[in-house]
Amino acid sequence: MKDIIDTIGLIADGMRIETTTRFRVTNPGTGGVAGHAPDGGQEELDRAVAAARGAFPAWAATSDEERARLCMAVADQIESHAEELARLITAEQGKPLGGIGSRWEVGGAVAWARYTAGLSLPMQVLQDTPEGRVEMYRKPLGVVGSITPWNFPVLIAVWHILPALRSGNTVVSKPSPLTPLASLRLIELMNEVLPAGVVNSVSAADGSFNMGAAMSAHEGIAKIVFTGSCGTGQKVMRSSAETMKRLTLEMGGNDAGIVLPDADPKAIAEGLFWGAFINNGQTCAAMKRLYVHDDIHDAVCEALVAYARTIKVGEGTQDDSVLGPVQNRAQFEKLSRLVAQAKETGQVLLGGEPGEGLFYPPTIIAGLTADDPLVYEEQFGPALPIIRYRDVDDALRQANALDVGLGGSIWSSDKEAAKALAGRMECGSVWINSHGMIQPNAPFGGVKKSGFGVEFGEEGLKEYTDIQVIFA
């Protein structure tokens, strides 16, 4: 594995790009070295964009059936290297291999790739009358720049790249400098089954060269698809303005869950836990604040804590680890600050004290209000604030009060009542008695400052195209 990690490179036009230097990638579970990644700059970016532009005409002209076949070949390629990719993810991201961890992430990437390969956007006849025929076509944009985060490095890369390919675009992919290895290896594997130049990769050390900004401003890139923080997404939007790029921005959220008084505390405890703590809480659409009706508040807290106590936190290669470390020091320090502030006014029901290294136990804090930073800031880690309420309309008002809106959830024994309340939540996705369970056939995106544009399904595929109407 070490030899593989330290030889992963950048790809342009199907060929390896050598860089003068490589940068260290830290293993958050051990504090040691996960590997070394290529430290690229403007030259490498220009070369990757040129390769993608050169490959675009032939790829766009490839038949729909052939592109579908090749996208399915990508899915098969990922599946055949699943264990290798999972171990790379664990080494650099920290999540466990088993459970809802690295192997689960790669399995999700395979499933998403296969589903996307089966999508299509055929020509639509808008009118066919004696007065004339009107046809609408979906045409690829050109080069798509993909900028991915550190929480799901392979899965989110597939979310970006496969619909771009399926709709006839070519790609330049940039992973997070915190987790570049699995993503770069993914691009190497794709290039074993795709024509040269269709998918290319760049990477740079944090602070050495702002590759994301350079991509956003690059005249040769037609669209940026970005997943990450609100602040970084705003920068992408600003730097893309001069070249009028198309954008899909899936940014941060602060998802609220509302537990209605008719919910069964023991029945929902496991779902509440995983809604909040999947990937150690390091998920854009994780539940980050929980509003519980006064009638069942204590019972919900008791059941949730009882389930959370069964969860083992440990280094990702240990067979019994269920959750791993926080991925990086900056996120760990932010989480620690928010929890420390919450402890001053709230009641710690579980956790609350940092562990060794970057490990932080699942933390549940009750007795908080809208004025507490752990409630109104996105913690992006394993800490859940619980807010007691008496009036459902007040809970809904608090849930909608923030300037982000990615996801939300309603927990109730009455599904119809829950659906009625769900329709009043100001967010892109709402789940009933679960949270964050996205799927490839359902469009996913945010409202307000959580971004714009959607991913997944036919609606997500359309995001990678322009419309052309022919009047005949």
Q: How far apart are CA 157 and CA 337, in angstroms?
A: 31
Q: How far apart are CA 189 and CA 205, in angstroms?
A: 22
Rama region for 471: left / alpha / beta (φ>0; ψ in -120 to 50; rest): beta
Q: One of 71, 230, 284, 427 is an active-site residue; which one?
A: 284
Q: How far apart are CA 135 and CA 155, in angstroms?
A: 35
List phi, psi (to 5°) of 15: -120, 155
Inter-residue contact 17 to 47 (CB < 8 Å): yes
Q: For residue 428, give the amino acid letter.
A: G
How many residues belong to the chain?
472
Helices (H) and strands (E) in the chain, counts: 16, 22
Q: For residue 456, give the amino acid letter.
A: F
Q: How far apart are CA 408 and CA 254, in angstroms?
A: 9
Tokens of 434: 């679960």
Q: One of 250, 378, 426, 463 is an active-site residue; which one?
A: 250
What is the separation of C-alpha 423 from the centre of its chain, rounded to a whole number of angstroms? Answer: 24
Contacts of 416 (CB under 8 A, 6+ apart): none
What is the separation of C-alpha 61 from the centre of its chain, rounded to a whole number of angstroms? Answer: 30
Q: How far apart are CA 142 and CA 114, in angstroms?
A: 23
Tokens of 19: 């860089």
| Active-site annotation holds for 105 | no
**Residue 250: beta bridge partners?**
227, 451
| Active-site annotation holds for 284 | yes
Q: How far apart are CA 212 and CA 149, in angstroms?
A: 11
> Are β-strands 451-452 and 124-129 bridged in parallel, bridged antiparallel, or unpaired?
unpaired
| CA atoms in the 13 A half-sphere facing the CB of 195 | 20
> Are β-strands 429-432 and 451-452 bridged in parallel, bridged antiparallel, or unpaired?
unpaired
Catalytic residues, which ones?
A: 250, 284
